Amino acid sequence: MTVTFLPGAPVPTTLAAAPSFDLEAVLASIETMATQKPVAAQIVSIAGSDDTDARGLARVLGSDAALAGRVMKLANSAYFGMRGRVTSLQFAVTVVGFTTVRTMATVALTDLDDESRLPRDFWRMSTCVALGASTLAPRFGERPQDALCLGLLAPLGVALLHHNDEEGYAELSAAEPTAAGRRAAEVRRYGLHAYRLTAVALEHWGFPPSMVTPLGAVDDLGTEDGALLRAALEVAARLTVEDHEPVPVEELTGGQLRDDAVVPVLDRVRAEAEELRLALLD
């Protein structure tokens, strides 16, 4: 039993002001997506099971030609270093890993692969978060591949809010240049911020706590759970957001990471992000 003792932690007794946007529709959309893309939903479901093997996963994946093609493309991309040696879907699943297949299925399930329906630079941001998280993962004792998937899916909530409230979300984003400010505005408008919404969706689809917990803890600087994600988001912001005011990563990571360690990570992410984006999309 994991028990965390927080002496003197404040106990909120009242709810925050009622949000101005009904979240119910967004939550309902998460549940209805599965019926619209059953193969992707099935992959999301079985890829997380310990009973699933590469052969079984490849068999299901094979019935979605577009998704299977993307997995093959990713397996042969420079990111995995296999130089075109991956010629079967089963081997591709083995190379990229089940979590990545599941992540790609989630991308398909949520229409994240349709860039026309996403905020501007959405995938540029996502791939930078993913590569930042993957590159920094060993410093936080995390598996790079899981961190890559977490980074890729983290902005899912942004896309969901954009889908359901395009104008409102665009205004909100424009009014809040900082990440923390935007998240606060999201809480005011929707009752929760975009990463929390991602966490809800991932939990709904059965993703493990290791991927869900950091998303909920992204604003809680006192916990280590969200430290890697915060650092990755900062890396991505430095690379993709104009006029971004850098936030020291020592602050974001509780001192686990120093700013001078970020410089080579920025170089690596900058070099690989576009290639990963092309490998993940068409």
Partner 1 sequence: MSATTVTAEPLVPPEVVSAIFYGAAVSDTLVLLVAELVGGTPRITWGNEGATQLLGYGLDDLRSLPVTSLVPTLRGGEVRLLLRRERSVRMTLPVRTASGALVEAVVRCTPMPSGRTWTLRLVPADSESERALRATADAHEQRFATLTERSPVPTLLSEQGMRLAHVNDAFCSLVGLQAEQLLGTGWMATVHPDDLDDVIEQVVVVLGGGDGETKARLLRTDGIERTAVFRFSQLFTPGVGAGFVGTIEDITDRLAFEARLEHQANHDPLTGLPNRTLLAEHVAARFRPGSSGLACLFLDLDNFKVVNDSLGHAAGDELLVEVAARLRATVRPGDLVARFGGDEFVVVCQDVDEDDAVTLAQRIGAALAEPVRLGGVDVRSHASVGVTVQTAEHGAAEELIRDCHIAMYQAKAGGKGRITVLDQRARAEARDKLRLVAELREAIERREITLLYQPIFDTADGAPVAVESLARWHHPVRGAISPAVFVALAEESGLIGALGLLVLDETCRQLAEWDRVLGPAAPPRANVNVSALQLDEHLHGHVVAALERHGLPPSRLSIEITESALMKDPASAREVLMQLRGLGVSLAIDDFGTGYSSLAYLRHLPVDVLKVDRSFVAELADGHTEIASAVIALARSLELTTVAEGVETEEQAAQLAELGAGFLQGFNLAQPMTGHRTAAWYAAHAR
Where do contacts with partner 1 occur on this chain (CB under 8 A)? 1-9, 11-16, 18-19, 23-24, 27, 31, 48-50, 52, 54, 75, 78-83, 85-86, 91, 93-100, 134-135, 138, 143-145, 187, 190-192, 196, 200, 203-206, 209, 212, 216, 264, 268
Find out whether 82 and 258 touch, Cβ atoms under 8 Å.
Answer: no
Find out whether 178 and 233 touch, Cβ atoms under 8 Å.
Answer: no
Of the pair 52, 173, the CB lying nearest partner 1 is at 52
Q: Smallest distance from the beta carbon of 194 to partner 1, in angstroms?
A: 13
Of the pair 147, 154, the CB lying nearest partner 1 is at 147
| Rounded distance between C-alpha atoms, residue 252 and residue 250, angstroms | 6
Q: Smallest distance from the beta carbon of 33 to partner 1, in angstroms?
A: 12
| Rounded distance between C-alpha atoms, residue 269 and residue 183, angstroms | 24
Of the pair 36, 121, the CB lying nearest partner 1 is at 36
13 backbone dihedrals φ, ψ, rounded to 5°: -115, -10
Of the pair 118, 205, the CB lying nearest partner 1 is at 205
DSSP 74-104: HHTSTTTT-TT---SHHHHHHHH-HHHHHHH
Q: Smallest distance from the beta carbon of 36 to partner 1, in angstroms?
A: 16
Of the pair 71, 118, the CB lying nearest partner 1 is at 71
| Rounded distance between C-alpha atoms, residue 46 and residue 192, angstroms | 29
Backbone conformation region of residue 245, classed left if phi is above 0, alpha if psi is from -120 to 50, else beta: beta
Q: Smallest distance from the beta carbon of 226 to partner 1, in angstroms?
A: 12
C-alpha Rg value of the chain to the nearest Å: 19
Of the pair 151, 216, the CB lying nearest partner 1 is at 216
- What is the chain's length? 282
Find out whether 118 and 160 touch, Cβ atoms under 8 Å.
Answer: no
Q: Smallest distance from the beta carbon of 174 to partner 1, in angstroms?
A: 22
Residue type (1 letter), 61: L
Q: Smallest distance from the beta carbon of 191 to partner 1, in angstroms?
A: 3
Of the pair 196, 238, the CB lying nearest partner 1 is at 196
| Rounded distance between C-alpha atoms, residue 48 and residue 142, angstroms | 18
Q: Smallest distance from the beta carbon of 1 to partner 1, in angstroms?
A: 5
